Amino acid sequence: MLVGGRLVNAADGRTFENVNPATEQVLGATADAGAGDMDAAIAAARSAFDDTGWSTDLDLRVRCLRQLHEGLGRHLEELRDLTVAEVGVPVSMTKGPHLDAAVANMPWVIDLAGRYEWERDHGEQATPYGRSHRYVAREAVGVVAAITPWNVPTQINLAKVVPALAAGNTVILKPAPDTPWSATALGRIVAQETDIPAGVFNVVPTSDNSVAQRLAEDPRVDLVSFTGSTATGRRLMAAAAGTVKKVFLELGGKSANIVFDDADLAGIIPGALAIIWNSGQGCAITTRLLVQRGLYDEAVDRISQALSGVKCGDPTSPGTMMGPLISELQRSRVLGLIDKGGEEGAKLVTGGGRPWTRAGMSNPRSSPTSTPTPRSRSRRSSGPSWP
C-alpha cells in the first residue's frame, strides 16, 4: 500500500488474497491494513494538507496530475490485463469506462482545475448597514477519504481521486477487497512516476470493515466519499455524525426501462441489453424492463431471443460479451434470487444457471444453498504479476 509517500506492507505483515473471478484462482496477495496502518495514512494525509503547499499551489497540482495521466498511459496495457484478471470484465469492455475512457477523461478535469475561477471579487455593494466589499474564495475541503466498490474500480477510483486532488485536497483511497490491485497500481504510479508530495495520496487496502470505518470516525478526516450498498452507507453516515464531517454517498440503484404500448420495441430492446454490461453489476445499468400489457408478450419474446445470443465465457477472449460475477458470494445471491422468483410464480424464459465454468469442470446447475468455495482455498497463481 502507499502511506506517506512510501510503498509499504501492513505493519503486522497481514495479507489477503486477490482472486480471479473467472478462474477462481488466486492472483496474489495484497497488504491487509490494520488500525495502525490506517492511522498512519490519516496522519500522513492530515500533515500533507496542513504543512505543505499542495492545497495552495495550483501549478504544482496541475503538473503532478499531468504526470499521473502520462504514467497511466504508459501502463495502460498492464492495467488492462490487471482489470480483466481482477474484475472478470471482458477485455472488450476495458476499451470504455472500465479503463480507456476513465484515463482519457483525466485531462478534462486537470484543464478545468487550471482555468477554474477559484477566487471572485464582487466589489463593493450597498447594504442596509453601509457599504461592504464581497469576495469569494473557493478552498479545498481538507482530507478526503475515498471508499470505492469493486464493480468498475479504476473508473470510480479516478472519478473520486483526480477531482479531489485537483481541488487541493489530500486523499486516502480505500478500495474494495475484491479489487485491490486497481488501487495499489494507481498508488505505485503516483509513488514512482509523479512529483505528488508524500502523504498527499495514500492507498490503504483492508479486508476489515472496522478498519475502513475509522475513516468516518476520525476527526482528522474532513469528507468521506463512498460508493456502494445502502446498508454500508447508513453505517458510514452514522459513524461520521460524531465529528459532523461531510459525507458524499452514492448508494444502490436499479434503473428501469418503462415501455408503453406505443413504443417501438425494435429500437428499445438493444438498449435493454445494457443488462449484460459488466454482468449487470452497475448502479446505472437499466436492469428492469417494465412493459405495458399490450406489448408484453412481444417484448418477452424479443428480449429472450436477444439474450440467447449473448456470448458468455472467458473474459480474455475478444468475442466474449459477458464474464463472471465478481465472487462466489454474489453468484450464489443471484442464483438464489432466480430460485425465489420461481417460487413466487415467475416464469423462467432463458438462462437461470451457470452458463459456463472453469476449463475441465462440468457445468451443473449451481445451487444457491450449496456451500460456497472459500476465496482463499485455491493457492494456484494465475494472472499478471504487476503491480
The residues annotated with a catalytic role in the active site are: 250, 283
Which of these, 19, 42, 18, lies nearest to 211 by C-alpha position? 42
> Residue 297 corresponds to which cell in the numbers above?
408478450
Distance (Å, rounded) from C-alpha 20 to C-alpha 41?
A: 28
Q: What b/e string do you get for 350-359 counting C-beta neighbours within 10 Å, with b at 16 or more?
A: eeeebebeee
Furthest CA-CA distance within the chain: 83
12: enclosing H helix or E strand: none
CA 16 to chain centre: 19
Distance (Å, rounded) from C-alpha 385 to C-alpha 189?
A: 15
The residues, any chain, with a CB within 8 Å of residue 241's CB and separated by 6 or more, are none
Which of these, 19, 56, 381, 48, lies nearest to 190 by C-alpha position? 48
> Residue 373 corresponds to which cell in the numbers above?
468455495
Strands lying side by side in the sheet with 170-174: 6-7, 2-3, 201-203, 170-174, 143-147, 223-228, 246-251
Bridge pairing between strands 170-174 and 201-203: parallel
Distance (Å, rounded) from C-alpha 352 to C-alpha 364?
A: 12
Contact 241, 273 (CB under 8 A): no
Distance (Å, rounded) from C-alpha 186 to C-alpha 177?
A: 15
158 exposed, middle or buried (CB, 10 Å; 0-12, 13-18, 19+)? buried
The identity of residue 292, as a single letter, is Q
